[in-house]
Each structure stands twice: as structure tokens, then as C-alpha cells.
Amino acid sequence: MTRSTTATEAFEPEHAARLARDLSSKGAIRSPEWRRVFARVPRHLFVSSFVVRTPEGTVAYDEQTPGWLETVYSDATLITRFSAEGLAVSSSTEPSLMALMLEHLRLQDGMKVLEVGTGTGYNAALLSERLGSALVTSIDVDGVLVERARGALEAAGYRPGLAAVDGARGYPNNAPYQRILATCGLGRIPVSWLDQLDEGGLVLANVGLGMALLRKGADGHARGRFLPEAAGFMRLRSSFTPGVPTVSEVLSVTGGEAERVRVVEKVPGLDDHASSEFLLSLLLPYGLRVVQHRQEGQVHGVLDGASGSWMRVEVDHQGQVTVGERGDRHLWEAYTALLSGWEEAGRPEIGRYGLTIAPDGEHHLWLDHPQNTNTPLDGPETTG
């Protein structure tokens, strides 16, 4: 009796080498060091089973599924874990985005790195291949994921420091770090991360719908721009941060009776969904907007998960806007101030915006230079 060959047994180094060439041709890999790393790390050891989203729906793969190995070494996000509610909570991010982030970290030999969001462990393997396992620490709130990643990393020949802890705390045991990389979505960058970052060190994190690359200065502030590419990672799961409301919660709450109602003319910038959503994600780090298309026009429902305040913005076909609000936080005034500034600046791309984070954690948004339009996102200007 002959035993059938599994997809894992069919793996050849050429699979990883081909992925590295593909990422280089796309411009995601820009240096020979990272091309070598991607060509050496076996991604299939970290994703024995997963789900891929396609235009036709989701497709589940395991080692026995035809095309499993080819999909593993494609530039695709592989979802590996779902919550009880059916929400994706862990994945192996598309390699082109991983490569882009790793290139922007500007790693040098001897640097110590903290990764927040271990996930499958594949990214920790890439960092370990580049720097050596002893210089890499990776943390995740999910102990099951951490142990699964540990096994995959050891099978691939890597032994970075791993810990199952709340990512919002960072990991002071191995601090200070020269680089901090978050492979999860954030509303705000925790102060604890900046405390654990060396002066001159970089932190790269998905803040709202942008990728912020910040350097810590001698004054304790972290400053830097958003990358030109937008992104949206799975959210950091932490007991220290408010939850983001669900779509059903937004629809239910914003359908209620408003405390304040006003009718205004057409609002510049509201028509550009990508840019207005980016600005809203910074203003409301734990908020969600749901847009409904009706015969009479659009209805934008926005709920702030942190304060419970909400607004309902109804836009008819003539551009007239009716705003209803409820709660202590006056969202409309703060939001339209950001939209107006964006419009007056000539509708700048995301890469022209930047963040400054003070040692106390307050986030300031600016355009082109830290001294320009330095808007506190967490201060009194955003509350009524």
C-alpha cells in the first residue's frame, strides 16, 4: 500500500523563492536582505488550514485541498481563526503588505524588535531570519495562538521570545526596543509602547485606517507620517481599550431620537468616502460609520464606542444635509472641522498627514509638517 503525498511533503524551496520574486516585482520587497528572508522562511508551516475571501465568497483550505500549497505561497491574506460570533480574529497577512512594513522599519543588525500580534508566527519567523531569534519578541493576547505559533516557529528553526499577554501593555521584560511593529489595528498607540522604545527608535502601527511610522525623539514625543498606503488590520484585543461597535449596534442606536438636529448645506469632503473615512477613524478611534443607501439619499450612522455619543447624517440628492446627534461628545463639529481642513488644503493624500504623540498619550494630527495644523485628536476641540 502506497501512502499519498501531502501538500507539505510536496513543498520545495522554490515555492518560497517564487513568492520572494513576486513580491520584488511588485515593489513590496526593495532590498536583497528581505528578498533572501522571504525566500528562506517556509510559510506553509504556519498555516496548515485557513480561509481565503474571494469575490465569489470564502474558500476553506487544508493540506489535502488541491491548490493549498500554491495558495499559501501567493500574495493572499489567509484567515486562520474566527471568534464565536464568526468574526476573523487571526490571519497571516498578505505578504506584500508584510514586506512593505518590514522594509519601512529600516532594520539593522543588532536591533531588538517587539512585535505586537503574533498571529500565526510567520512574521516573527521573518524577523528572526533577518535579525536572529534572540533579538525578536512577539506577543499576543491569545495563548492558544501563541503556543501554536511556538510549535510552527520551532519546526521552522526559530526560537524568538513569545508571551501571551495583553498587547496594550507591551512587554517590558525585554525592553528597551529599537523597533516596535504592530500587526494588529489600533485606535491609539499605547503610552506603554513609547515607554519601552529607545530614543530614536521607530514604531510602525495601523492607527485607524492609516499606517503610522513614528520616531521617538529626545523629548519623549513620537512623530512621523502615515505611509501612502491605507490599511486595516484586525483590531488589537485588549481589556484596556473600548470595543468598536458592530454594524447592528450602529443601526440600532443611530435610529433613535436625536437631542440636537440641524440642517446644513452640502459638506465639502463628505463625498470622498476613502478620505472622510480615514479622518473619521482618527477622530473616533473606537467608532464605526455605517452608510445606508435609500431612495431619498444616503444615511450615515456614526457611533462612538468610547463615549456612546452618536450622529446620524442624512444627505439628499440635492446635497442638503440633516444632522441629528445625541450624547456629550459633539461629533459633527469635530468631524466637519477635519473635513474642512482637508478640503481647504486641496484634498491631500493620506501620506501628507502625520501624527505626534505626547508622552501622556495625547495624539495630534498634522499636515506636511508637525508644526502645521497641529490638531489634538483627544483634547477639548473634539468634545462639546
Query: Helices (H) and strands (E) in the chain — how many of each?
Result: 10, 19
Domain-embedded: residue 6: no
Q: How confident is the model at residue 380 (pLDDT cuts 50, 70, 90)?
A: very low
Q: Mean pLDDT, to the nearest integer, of 109-135?
A: 97
Mean pLDDT value across residues 285-298 = 90
Indicate if the pLDDT at residue 168 is higher than 50: yes
- Can you give the pLDDT at residue 20? 96
* CATH number for the domain harbouring residue 106: 3.40.50.150
> For the residues 5-19, what does the mean pLDDT come to?
73
Average pLDDT over residues 191-209: 96
In-domain check, residue 35: yes
Mean pLDDT on 75-94: 77
pLDDT 10s digits, 305-351: 999 999 999 988 887 899 999 999 999 999 999 999 999 999 999 99
The alpha carbon of residue 185 and the mean position of all alpha carbons in its chain are separated, in whole angstroms, by: 3
Which tens digit of pLDDT belongs to each residue from 214-263?
A: 999 999 999 999 999 877 788 888 888 888 898 999 999 999 999 999 99
Single out the residue of 123, 124, 50 nearest to residue 88, CA to CA.
50
Return the pLDDT at 15: 92
pTM of the model: 0.90
Burial class of residue 344 in the structure, from the number of CB atoms within 10 Å of its CB (0-12 exposed, 13-18 middle, 19+ buried) = exposed
Mean pLDDT along residues 272-283: 89
In a shared domain, residues 209 and 128: yes
Long-range contact list for 212-215, CB < 8 A, 24+ apart?
Answer: 212/354, 212/355, 213/104, 214/189, 214/355, 214/357
Both 195 and 261 in one domain: the answer is no
- Are 283 and 167 contained in the same domain? no
Per-residue confidence (pLDDT) for residue 3, from 0 to 100: 37
Residue 357 lies in a domain: no
- Residue 12: pLDDT band (50, 70, 90) is confident
**Are 196 and 268 in the same domain?**
no
Helices 13-25, 95-104: inter-axial angle, 10-degree rounding: 70
Would residue 242 count as lying in a domain?
no
As a whole-number percent, the residues of the chain with pLDDT over 90 amount to 69
Asked whether 4 and 10 are in contact (CB, 8 A), the reply is: no
Q: Are 180 and 203 in contact, with CB atoms under 8 Å apart?
A: yes
Same domain, 177 and 256: no
Please indicate, yes or no, whether residues 144 and 73 belong to a single structural domain of this protein: yes
Q: CA-to-CA distance for 96 and 86, rounded, in angstroms?
A: 26
Segment of 36-45, 79-88, 259-268, 363-372 carrying the highest mean pLDDT: 36-45
The answer to whether residues 87 and 202 belong to one domain is yes
Rounded distance, CA 259 to CA 315, Å? 19
Helix (H) / strand (E) containing 125: helix 122-131
Residue 2 pLDDT: 37
CA atoms within 13 A on the CB side of 261: 6
Q: Is residue 364 part of a domain?
A: no
User: Does residue 5 belong to any structural domain of this protein?
Assistant: no
- For 223, the 3-state DSSP assignment is strand
Q: Residue 282 is part of a domain; what is its CATH number?
A: 3.30.160
- Is residue 331, in this structure, part of any structural domain at all? yes
Do 170 and 64 share a structural domain? yes
Q: How distant, in Å, are the alpha carbons of 13, 28, 38, 179, 216 from that of 131?
A: 21, 19, 13, 12, 21
Residues 176 and 251 in one domain: no
Cβ–Cβ < 8 Å for 203, 135: no
Residues 160, 198, single domain; the answer is yes
29 and 124 share one domain: yes
As given in the structure block, the three cell numbers for residue 107 are: 532594520
From 230, 265, 294, give the residue that closes a domain.
230
Give the pLDDT confidence of 89-117 residue by residue, as tens digits. 677 889 999 999 999 999 999 999 999 99
pLDDT digits (tens, 9 = 90+) for 47-67: 988 888 888 778 898 888 998
Say if residue 132 is in the same domain as residue 185.
yes
Positions marked catalytic? 90
Backbone angles phi, psi at 195, to 5 degrees: -65, -30
Grid look-up 491631500 returns 348
Q: Domain residues for 130?
A: 13-230
Number of domains in the chain: 2
In a domain, residue 372? The reply is: no
Of 22-36, 122-136, 162-176, 327-341, give the lowest mean pLDDT range: 327-341
pLDDT at 85 over 70: no
Provide the pairing of β-strand 363-367 with 375-376: antiparallel
